[in-house]
């Protein structure tokens, strides 16, 4: 959720109109039709017709995209030489039927508070992704999409390892419109914001040139990966390589040792060269034309040569930013920057999706971190070293490793093996380097933690991103009065672990543990609208105001309350002393569940204050209040789309039967305390306003 | 460590969990002992088979007897007004604090052995992948009560 309080200056620069989406560099896509674009630009809400809450299918080109994907196994069959016309035809027919069925059964719609996807040919599946849980959206344009002139949209939300919502083929204009709508929630400027003209497209923060990508490929960690692959390949195709070696040996001549060394050098050099070339190619394909831009709400990345991707990450969803410098890059004064966002799909691609600077000068990297976190002091903060005990620990480790290796070498080679003692020199140097790379700092509201010798990583984490804090220590750390502070943040699978401040003194760790736990608690509680309306329990003196509100809201539909109203919990939305919203939580009439079920009645918002999220605030506060009283389930009727977005399901889904009541479908929200024992039919006397 | 310097008054787990750990530990000595017996029979080594089996069994049983004692002493938890403290670990000692406001959901779990001892586990989850607190070995009623108390904390303040 957004915390406007953190950057009050931002509201004035917010523009209600659709911001230009920088970072869109798909040159071949025709611009969206002017009419659609304008209608959308001028009327941000309600959403334009194309995105009204009606179910839509994917673009028919999805069939083509899927077909292209399905061709691959066929191609493999042909390559394998076992190509049979009939099998191939059967395969194609089956795939075609399957794709059409899949397309027919796949629909999506954008509701006011959620993206709803229905899919599944045999087993129907409905996925509701509340907009407030969306962490980032990516538009993907693979070769297949380019062929058919469509885009793929991926929606990442918290709470899963994989992509939560994937729309395989959409009209480009629609895809972009949808992306903006999806990310609108929680980032909208408050109604009182200064409505200014949209700013011009901001300049790119990062733009990678081909030369820089080559450098990134040469100095990147992929070289190691590809070197391993080349080694593996040389094992698999050893015979052919053997022939090549023979030929090479014949050419160079292996009469003397020099010849053998030359052959070995050529082979080794060749393998390394291949690894470098592959790394450069992979880096170039992935990060081709990489650009990063930000406006006042979002970060936009765009990259890729064959598969083009453009990602949108709301700035307030960035949990942590890290600067990575591997040993080679550090010597050249270069670094890469990645952001941590929750809910990205796991696997290798998460590293690429999270990259906001593939390669740049160290200074540029530090400044970029500051830009992303809206802080101008990040690049300047000096890091504090750790207690010297941390260095001693690492030196002891180096000594133990040297002794162990020497013992092994002596056992293996006899007395000459004792030369392994010389390893003490590089290992101690490494130990000291590892100690020097440790560092930490805590400028107001931020935590900086640096560690790592082969890849030195500096994590910059906001205190408000902390989900939990821990102090952990090994016996060796305890002996030296050291501990590791673990910063638990919401992050993606496969993006590395939680940031850690390694080997701080136990006193510091203990003090920070308590301080950060408090900070984590307070930032979670901070209301997202500090001066805005708040929900509180109604007081006796609110009576007339509540009555007036109910009258003004729904004069015709208000029904008198039964005797259960005596036990009702009454909540009001208080905006600077004015009661502008009201909700009642009443027991079931003739309750047979022992108070486990309550009815939400009279959720009313003043007519002038609708569509500002007050209804949502009221319902959420009612649910919290009910949970606190040990209620298991809350039922409500009417406005099904609204209630569904707040986690309500049809009562039938939870073994309850609805009364025969004209006020609309009944929905139920299970609270954390629900154990299934409250399932029951609702008495027919229950009714809602 | 925190409990030494801070007046964190950590509560121990239910004593029965130590017995449960002893039982589980004793049971888990069986597979390596059997493996040692098979290994000794198939690949005759210098020392006798019986010696090997005895060494594995005795070593395992000693560990199974000692580790639960240390583990039980280390385990502790405390409900503070705004957060929840868990201390655990035998070699790596970890003290975690999880604010209630950051809890995503709270579960109780009961395995077959837990039921046998009348125990229950409390599992709390935050939005962080790395942080899911687990309290093993609570009295089933205490666990249920804790779950209700934690669940009653405002559920909708969580921000990610």
- Tens digits of residue pLDDT in B79-122: 887 788 999 988 999 999 998 888 877 888 888 888 889 899 88
Give the number of residues written for chain B: 160
User: Which of A338, A328, A337, A327 minimizes the C-alpha distance to A363?
Assistant: A337
Cis peptide before A425 (omega within 30 of 0): no
Q: What is the DSSP string of A586-649?
A: EEPTT-SSSS-EEEEEEEEE-GGGTTSSHHHHHHHHHHHHHHHTT--EEEEES-HHHHHHTT-E
Of B5, B131, B155, the CB nearest to A488: B131
| Chain A neighbors of B152, CB-CB under 8 A | 627-630, 672-673
pLDDT at A5: 37
Report the percentage of chain A scoring pLDDT > 70: 77
Sheet bearing A298-303, strands edge to edge: A165-170, A151-157, A134-141, A308-314, A298-303, A291-294, A206-207
pLDDT at A184: 72
Please check whether residue A74 is in contact with residue A89, taking contact to mean a CB–CB distance below 8 angstroms: no
User: Which of A351, A389, A668, A344 minimizes the C-alpha distance to A507?
Assistant: A389
| pLDDT category of residue A441 using cuts at 50, 70 and 90 | very high
pLDDT at B3: 39
Mean pLDDT, residues B36-62 taken together: 82
Tokens of A471: 């102090």
Cβ A468–B148 below 8 Å, yes or no?
no
Higher-confidence residue: A684 or A129?
A129
Burial of residue A563 (CB within 10 Å: 0-12, 13-18, 19+) is: exposed
pLDDT at A394: 95
Q: Which residue has the tokens 């976190």?
A: A373
| pLDDT tops 90 at residue A321 | yes
| pLDDT tops 60 at residue A229 | yes
| pLDDT tops 60 at residue A203 | yes
A488–chain B Cβ distance below 8 A for any pair: yes
Most confident of A69-83, A169-183, A423-437, A675-689: A423-437
Classified as helix, coil or strand, A390 is: helix
Q: Mean pLDDT check: name the lowest of A179-183, A431-435, A524-528, A565-569.
A: A524-528
Q: Give residue A184's Cα distance to chain centre.
A: 16
ipTM value of the model?
0.85
Mean pLDDT, residues B121-131 taken together: 80
Of A490, A523, A627, the CB nearest to B127: A490
A496–chain B Cβ distance below 8 A for any pair: no
Mean pLDDT, residues A316-320 taken together: 87
Cβ B98–A467 below 8 Å, yes or no?
yes
The whole-angstrom separation of Cα A640 and Cα A688 is 13
Higher-confidence residue: A642 or A479?
A479
In chain B, the residue whose alpha carbon lies closest to the alpha carbon of A470 is B96
| Chain B neighbors of A520, CB-CB under 8 A | 83, 99, 101-102
Mean pLDDT, residues A666-673 taken together: 81
Tokens of A55: 């179910």
Tokens of B152: 């009653």
Cβ B5–A507 below 8 Å, yes or no?
yes
Q: What is the CA radius of gyration of chain A?
A: 31
Cβ B126–A488 below 8 Å, yes or no?
yes
pLDDT at A181: 84
CA dihedral (A616, A617, A621, A627) positive or negative: positive
Cβ B133–A471 below 8 Å, yes or no?
no
Cβ-based contacts under 8 A for chains A and B: 142
Mean pLDDT, residues A470-487 taken together: 94
What's phi and psi for A437, nearest 5 deg? -75, -15
Nearest CA-CA distance, residue A475 and chain B, Å: 6
The whole-angstrom separation of Cα B119 and Cα B139 is 5
pLDDT at A365: 93
The whole-angstrom separation of Cα A322 and Cα A278 is 26
List, as ranges, residues 463-482 from A with C-beta within 8 Å of B.
464, 466-475, 478
Q: Mean pLDDT check: name the lowest of A372-386, A498-512, A653-667.
A: A653-667
The whole-angstrom separation of Cα A317 and Cα A298 is 9
Nearest CA-CA distance, residue A563 and chain B, Å: 27
| pLDDT tops 50 at residue A277 | yes
The whole-angstrom separation of Cα A180 and Cα A198 is 15
Cβ A525–B101 below 8 Å, yes or no?
yes
Tokens of A632: 């298991």
Tokens of A198: 């949209």
| pLDDT tops 60 at residue A543 | yes
Q: Mean pLDDT check: name the lowest of A83-87, A138-142, A329-333.
A: A83-87
pLDDT at A159: 57
- Tens digits of residue pLDDT in A52-95: 667 888 998 888 888 877 777 777 766 666 667 777 788 788 88
The whole-angstrom separation of Cα A456 and Cα A176 is 37
CA dihedral (B141, B143, B146, B151) positive or negative: negative
pLDDT at B153: 62
Of B2, B91, B101, the CB nearest to A471: B2
Please check whether residue B154 is in contact with residue B132, taking contact to mean a CB–CB distance below 8 angstroms: no
Tokens of A10: 């931002």
Cβ B130–A523 below 8 Å, yes or no?
no
Q: Give residue A294's Cα distance to chain centre.
A: 17
pLDDT at A161: 54
In chain B, the residue whose alpha carbon lies closest to the alpha carbon of A490 is B128
pLDDT at A657: 76
Name the β-bridge partners of A136.
Answer: A156
Please check whether residue A182 is in contact with residue A131, taking contact to mean a CB–CB distance below 8 angstroms: yes
pTM, two decimal places? 0.69
Q: Mean pLDDT, chain B, as a whole number?
A: 82
Report the percentage of chain A scoring pLDDT > 90: 24
User: Which of A558, A560, A581 minimizes the C-alpha distance to A571?
Assistant: A581
A657–chain B Cβ distance below 8 A for any pair: no
How many other CB atoms are found less than 10 A from the CB of residue B45?
10
Q: What is the DSSP string of A622-640?
A: HHHHHHHTT--EEEEES-H
Please check whether residue A303 is in contact with residue A287, taking contact to mean a CB–CB distance below 8 angstroms: yes
User: Which of A553, A27, A624, A656 minimizes the C-alpha distance to B156?
Assistant: A624
pLDDT at A526: 55
pLDDT at A638: 78
Cβ B97–A620 below 8 Å, yes or no?
no
Which distant-in-sequence residues (6+ apart) come within 8 Å of A687 by Cβ?
A559, A659, A661, A663
Mean pLDDT, residues A189-204 taken together: 48
Classified as helix, coil or strand, A557 is: coil
Higher-confidence residue: B61 or A547?
B61
| pLDDT category of residue B68 using cuts at 50, 70 and 90 | very high
Cα separation values, A101 from A54, A97, A119, A296, A440, Å: 20, 6, 10, 43, 56
pLDDT at A596: 82
């Amino acid at each position: 959720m957004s915390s406007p309080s953190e950057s009050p200056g931002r509201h004035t620069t917010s523009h209600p109109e659709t911001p230009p989406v920088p970072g869109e560099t798909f040159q071949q896509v025709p611009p969206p039709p002017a009419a659609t674009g304008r209608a959308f630009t001028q009327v941000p809400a309600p959403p334009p017709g194309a995105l009204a809450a009606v179910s839509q299918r994917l673009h028919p080109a999805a069939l083509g995209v899927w077909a292209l994907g399905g061709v691959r196994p066929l191609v493999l069959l042909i390559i394998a030489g076992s190509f049979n016309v009939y099998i191939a035809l059967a395969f194609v027919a089956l795939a075609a039927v399957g794709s059409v069925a899949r397309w027919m059964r796949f629909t999506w719609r954008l509701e006011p508070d959620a993206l709803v996807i229905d899919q599944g040919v045999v087993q129907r599946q409905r996925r509701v992704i509340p907009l407030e849980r969306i962490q980032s959206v990516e538009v993907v344009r693979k070769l297949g999409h380019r062929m058919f002139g469509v885009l793929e949209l991926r929606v990442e939300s918290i709470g899963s390892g994989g992509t939560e919502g994937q729309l395989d083929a959409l009209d480009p204009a629609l895809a972009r419109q949808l992306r903006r709508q999806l990310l609108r929630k929680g980032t909208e400027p408050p109604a009182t914001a200064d409505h200014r003209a949209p700013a011009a497209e901001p300049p790119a923060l990062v733009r990678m040139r081909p030369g820089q990508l080559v450098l990134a490929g040469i100095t990147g960690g992929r070289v190691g990966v590809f070197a391993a692959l080349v080694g593996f390949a040389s094992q698999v195709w050893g015979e052919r390589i053997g022939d090549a070696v023979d030929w090479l040996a014949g050419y160079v001549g292996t009469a003397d040792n020099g010849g053998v060394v030359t052959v070995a050098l050529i082979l080794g050099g060749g393998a390394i060269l291949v690894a470098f070339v592959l790394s450069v190619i992979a880096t170039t394909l992935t990060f081709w034309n990489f650009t990063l831009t930000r406006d006042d709400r979002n970060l936009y990345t765009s990259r890729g040569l064959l598969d083009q991707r453009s990602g949108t990450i709301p700035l307030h969803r960035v949990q942590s930013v890290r600067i990575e410098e591997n040993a080679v890059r550090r010597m050249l004064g270069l670094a890469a920057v990645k952001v941590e966002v929750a809910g990205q799909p796991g696997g290798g691609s998460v590293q690429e999706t999270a990259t906001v600077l593939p390669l740049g000068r160290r200074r540029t990297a530090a400044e970029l971190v500051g830009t992303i976190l809206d802080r101008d002091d990040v690049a300047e903060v000096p890091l504090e070293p750790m207690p010297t005990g941390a260095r001693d620990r690492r030196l002891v480790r180096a000594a133990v490793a040297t002794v162990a290796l020497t013992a092994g070498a002596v056992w293996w080679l006899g007395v000459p093996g004792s030369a392994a003692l010389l390893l003490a020199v590089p290992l101690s140097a490494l130990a000291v380097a590892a100690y020097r790379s440790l560092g930490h700092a805590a400028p107001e509201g931020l935590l900086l933690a640096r560690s790592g010798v082969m890849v030195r990583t500096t994590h910059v984490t906001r205190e408000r991103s902390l989900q939990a804090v821990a102090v952990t220590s090994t016996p060796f750390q305890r002996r030296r009065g050291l501990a590791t502070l673990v910063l638990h943040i919401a992050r993606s699978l496969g993006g590395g672990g939680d940031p850690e401040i390694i080997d701080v003194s136990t006193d510091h760790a203990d003090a920070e543990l308590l301080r950060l736990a408090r900070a984590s608690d307070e930032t979670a509680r901070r209301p997202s609208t500090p001066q805005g309306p708040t929900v509180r329990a109604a007081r006796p003196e609110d009576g007339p105001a509540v009555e007036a509100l109910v009258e003004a809201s729904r004069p015709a539909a208000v029904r008198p309350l039964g005797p259960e109203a005596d036990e009702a919990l009454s909540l009001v939305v208080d905006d600077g002393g004015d009661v502008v919203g009201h909700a009642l939580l009443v027991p079931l009439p003739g309750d047979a569940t022992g108070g486990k079920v309550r009815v939400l009645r009279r959720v009313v918002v003043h007519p002038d204050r609708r569509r500002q999220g007050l209804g949502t605030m009221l319902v959420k506060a009612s649910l919290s209040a009910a949970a606190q009283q040990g209620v298991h389930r809350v039922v409500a009727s009417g406005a099904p789309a609204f209630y569904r977005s707040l986690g309500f399901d049809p009562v039938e889904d939870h073994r309850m039967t609805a009364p025969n009541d004209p006020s609309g479908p009944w929905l139920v929200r299970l609270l954390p305390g629900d154990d299934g024992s409250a399932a029951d039919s609702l008495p027919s006397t229950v009714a809602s306003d | 460590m925190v409990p030494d310097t801070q007046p964190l008054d950590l509560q121990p787990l239910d004593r029965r969990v130590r017995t449960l750990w002893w039982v589980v530990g004793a049971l888990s000595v069986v597979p390596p002992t059997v493996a040692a017996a098979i290994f000794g029979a198939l690949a005759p080594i210098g020392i006798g088979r019986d010696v090997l089996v005895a060494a594995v069994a005795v070593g395992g049983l000693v560990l199974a007897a000692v580790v639960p004692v240390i583990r039980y002493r280390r385990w502790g938890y405390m409900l503070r007004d705004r957060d929840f403290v868990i201390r655990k670990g035998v070699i790596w000692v970890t003290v975690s604090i999880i604010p209630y406001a950051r809890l995503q959901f709270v579960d109780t779990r009961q395995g077959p052995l837990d039921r046998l001892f009348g125990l229950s586990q409390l599992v709390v989850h935050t939005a962080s992948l790395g942080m899911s607190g687990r309290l093993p070995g609570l009295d089933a009623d205490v666990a249920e009560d804790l779950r209700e108390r934690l669940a009653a904390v405002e559920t909708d303040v969580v921000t990610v």
